[in-house]
Amino acid sequence: MSYYMPAEFSRQRAAILVFPERPGSWGIDPLPAQKVFAELINTIAKNETVYAAVSPNCRKTAEKLLDRSENIRLLDIPTNDAWARDIAPTFVKDTQTGEVRGISWKFNAWGGTYDGLYADWALDDAFAGSFCKQAGFGCTDAESFVLEGGSIHSDGEGTLLTTESCLLSKGRNPDMTKADIERTLCSYLGGEKVLWLPRGIYNDETDEHVDNVCAFIRPGEVVLAWTDDMNDPQYPLSQADLEYLESVTDAKGRRLTVHKLPIPDTPVTVTAADLANYRFEEGEDTREAGERLAASYVNFFFANDIVLLPQFGGENTASDERALDIMRSLLLDREIIPIPAIDIIKGGGNIHCITQQIPQ
């Protein structure tokens, strides 16, 4: 059998989220974040099935916030945190039969003992296999190969997209060469060509996942996080990515069309009030007041017929509207739904980071 990773803009069978509660990510009072997660789940469930993993601590809250829908299925699977994109399986599809199965990558909290973000990730590492077992999917174990779902994109036609800053980081697979990693990706995901963006979003603590800086919207077309402000630390990163994207072709030999999707005009930062709400465990990466968060509109989620787009509000209301206008002009066949995402970005990621799709 031959498997490939479908594009995220293709039809979906379901989505996966994990209800948040980790105090170091979502605060001592996680309810604001839980309400946004519930809004996402309820919205996606209008178009497809949603699996929501819950712990005993937050099951009652989840049941209260979530719609009574046959499309919402709660699963009792313990986790260390709620980043479904990175801990849930990456799903691939058989080219002949259409069978869908998951891949369980090795997860080490974005860098393990080298530069991981928390000290205990055993539950997160076990999540993909546990999910496939409970939800009834076959599962391929990638064994010792470290990867997170947010570090890869696929156009569904043989092109894989990633960043050198992440996949070549010392905390992932330090004994593998770039060529080794490329062969491994293509083997598991049915890829024919890997495009290596140099960088991601400034201060992205995942070592700059691709899902925060660049995404396919259709074969041969991507959106790229951008800023025209040459004094912004994001400028040289996005500029390097643009130069790279304009110099390569995809697996089908096409030149890529690159659409610029500007980041928020005003940096989103950790406030003193945010800092007072966090409670960090021993060995967990901490935050500080004024720290710039990796806010980007590229961190959106495709679901059937819709796109869920982050919105940051406040000083970035105009930036939010600009991003909505751009996405609406690029995806005329989908409804672009704005989602208030400030309580997600405080955890360190955004809408794409907390969701994982299962192809039809």
- The three state secondary structure string of the chain is CCEECCCCCCCEEEEEEECCCCHHHHCCCCHHHHHHHHHHHHHHCCCCEEEEEECCCCHHHHHHHCCCCCCEEEEECCCCCCCHHHHCCEEEEECCCCCEEEEEEECCCCCHHHHCCCCCCHHHHHHHHHHHHHHCCEEEEEEEEECCHHHCEECCCCEEEEEHHHHCCCCCCCCCCHHHHHHHHHHHHCCCEEEEECCCCCCCCCCCCHHHCEEEEECCEEEEEECCCCCCCCHHHHHHHHHHHCCCECCCCCECEEEEEECCCCCCECCHHHHHHCCCCCCCCCCCCCCECCCCCCCCEEECCEEEEEECCHHHHHHHHHHHHHHHHHCCCCEEEEEECHHHHCCCCCCHHHCEEEEC
So what's the pLDDT on residue 22? 97
- Active site (annotated) includes residue 353: yes
Residue 137 phi, psi dihedral angles, 5° rounding: -110, 145
So what's the pLDDT on residue 316? 98
C-alpha 360/C-alpha 358 separation (Å) is 7
* Residue 62 CA: distances (Å) to CA of 29, 38, 73, 134: 14, 7, 11, 19
Which percentage of the chain shows pLDDT scores above 70? Answer: 100
* pLDDT score of 248 more than 90: yes
* pLDDT score of 29 more than 80: yes
* pLDDT score of 315 more than 80: yes
So what's the pLDDT on residue 1? 61
Going by CATH, does the domain composed of 3-359 fall within 3.40.50.1360? no
Per residue in 175-218, pLDDT tens?
A: 999 999 999 999 999 999 999 999 999 999 999 999 999 999 99
Domain spans of the chain, in order of start:
3-359
Local confidence band at 149 (pLDDT 50, 70, 90 cut-offs): very high
Nearest of 73, 105, 79 to residue 91 by alpha carbon? 105
Q: What is the pTM (predicted TM-score) of this model?
A: 0.98
Question: Which residues touch 40 (CB under 8 Å, ≥6 apart)?
Answer: 17, 301, 308, 339, 351, 354, 355
- With vertex at residue 342, the alpha carbon angle to CA 300 and CA 31, rounded to the nearest 5 degrees, is 110
Please say whether the dihedral angle defined by the alpha carbons of residues 306, 320, 8 and 53, taken in this order, is positive or negative: negative
Average pLDDT, whole number, for the chain?
Answer: 97
